[in-house]
Amino acid sequence: MKSFEYAAPKSLDEATGLLGDKWGDTEVLAGGTDLITCMKQQIVAPKRVVSLKNVADLKGIKAEGKSIRIGATTTLGDLIANSSIQEHFPALITAAKSLHSPQVLTLGTVGGEVLQRPRCWYYRNGLGLYNDSQVRGGDNRYHAIFGNDGKALFVHPSSLAPIFVALGATMIIAGAKGKKRNVAAAKFFQTPKSDADRESALKPNEILAEIEVPTSGLKNAAYEIRHRQVIDWPYVTAAVAFAAKNGAVSDARVVLGHVAPIPWLSQAASKALNGAAISETTAARAGDAATQGAKPLSKNEYKLQLVRVAVKRAALAAGAA
């Protein structure tokens, strides 16, 4: 690890003022479960690390009107323990609990989880995000089956991000001099245009401050498929959220994780749920629909069946909630 300057500001304004205008010059430290690894592997070598541990405004969960606001440095353990999250967003509880590691649950933060860098082993071995020729001709078992027409073949690593998209959350971003802007979760996660970019709408001198999730009464659930129930990343996840009236589904959103460079909203699966009652048949139909448009690589066609299963089981779980 290369030497770096360490800063521990006490306010959000002070923190944003310490950031640079170019990715890589400065990095934000929350729980550190991803950043420290990236620095040790020399994937990033910042000149300055800005710790958020002393910025109290970024931590905590509070209900405001018809929404719940989750501070970006709220730990995953605190997310799981919060009664409001348990009541309104069981999908978030399921996803956070699936991380299993007591260390990650204690130190890892909500903001850090959604902003972690891709787990692509080509990228993690210093070959960059855009290595499509190597991925297409190499071991691509865990790479994208959607959104992979271009050079970006990695998958988005967050388990919480698809749920925030499904729930219609808003990401609240803090910039310099107290400026804030809101970005819908569905537009916040982006495929970077080059190795110099990041996988979100954040700019280098901005910080994710809060995530606002509407308490609109949507039934919601998440389901993920892993190789083993330990510290690992899933093969496929599915987040399902919908309104239900007189037994019929409306406003359904089916969002897939770990299958594309961004959380993948399946319009076909969402449409398959709308207007019907949740049943084994309806859920299976949504699972089949969720595979529409997929373009598996040479070694990851197996993910199609996992998508079917994850969507079906998430839909049934949401219907039973």
> Is the model's pLDDT at 165 over the cut of 80?
yes
Between 91-100, 157-166, 236-245, the lowest mean confidence (pLDDT) is in 91-100
Query: What does the pLDDT look like over 135-163, one tens digit per residue?
Result: 999 999 999 999 999 999 999 999 999 99
User: How does residue 131 score in pLDDT terms, banded at 50, 70 and 90?
Assistant: confident
Mean of all residue pLDDT scores within the chain:
94
- Residue 140's nearest CA partner among 131, 201, 174 is 131
> Is the model's pLDDT at 229 over the cut of 70?
no
The pLDDT of residue 228: 65
Strands annotated E in 260-321: 264-265
Cβ neighbours, 10 Å, residue 34: 19
Residue with tokens 């595979």: 291
Interval 154-179 mean pLDDT: 96
The pLDDT of residue 247: 87
Q: How far apart are CA 234 and CA 257, in angstroms?
A: 9
Query: What does the pLDDT look like over 269-284, one tens digit per residue?
Result: 999 999 999 999 999 9
High-pLDDT (> 90) share of the chain, %: 85
Instruction: Enumerate residues 6+ apart whose C-beta is below 8 A from 132.
Output: 150, 151, 152, 153
User: How does residue 230 score in pLDDT terms, banded at 50, 70 and 90?
Assistant: low
The pLDDT of residue 194: 83
The pLDDT of residue 176: 87
Q: Are 45 and 89 in contact (CB under 8 A)?
A: no
Specify the pTM: 0.96
What the block records as the tokens of 158 is 């967050």
What does the buried/exposed string (b/e) look like for 145-184 if buried means 16 or more CB atoms within 10 Å of the residue's CB? bbbbeebbbbbbbbbbbbbbbbbbbbbbbbbeeeeeeebe
User: How does residue 233 score in pLDDT terms, banded at 50, 70 and 90?
Assistant: confident
User: How does residue 260 score in pLDDT terms, banded at 50, 70 and 90?
Assistant: very high
Contacts 24+ apart (CB under 8 A), 139-142: 139/299, 140/297, 140/298, 140/299, 140/300, 141/299, 141/300, 142/233, 142/235, 142/258, 142/300
Query: What does the pLDDT look like over 198-224, one tens digit per residue?
Result: 999 999 999 999 999 999 999 999 999
Q: Domains for the chain: give ranges and CATH numbers.
A: 219-320 (3.30.390.50)
Query: What does the pLDDT look like over 283-295, one tens digit per residue?
Result: 999 999 999 999 9
The pLDDT of residue 177: 84
The pLDDT of residue 1: 80
Query: What does the pLDDT look like over 22-66, one tens digit per residue?
Result: 998 999 999 998 999 999 988 999 999 999 999 999 999 999 999
Query: What does the pLDDT look like over 11-22, one tens digit per residue?
Result: 999 999 999 999
> Is the model's pLDDT at 108 over the cut of 70?
yes
Interval 165-177 mean pLDDT: 96
> Is the model's pLDDT at 183 over the cut of 70?
yes
Q: Are 50 and 30 in contact (CB under 8 A)?
A: no
- Residue 168's nearest CA partner among 189, 184, 187, 181 is 184
The pLDDT of residue 17: 95
Query: What does the pLDDT look like over 247-256, one tens digit per residue?
Result: 899 999 999 9
Q: Which amino acid would we find at residue 168? A: G
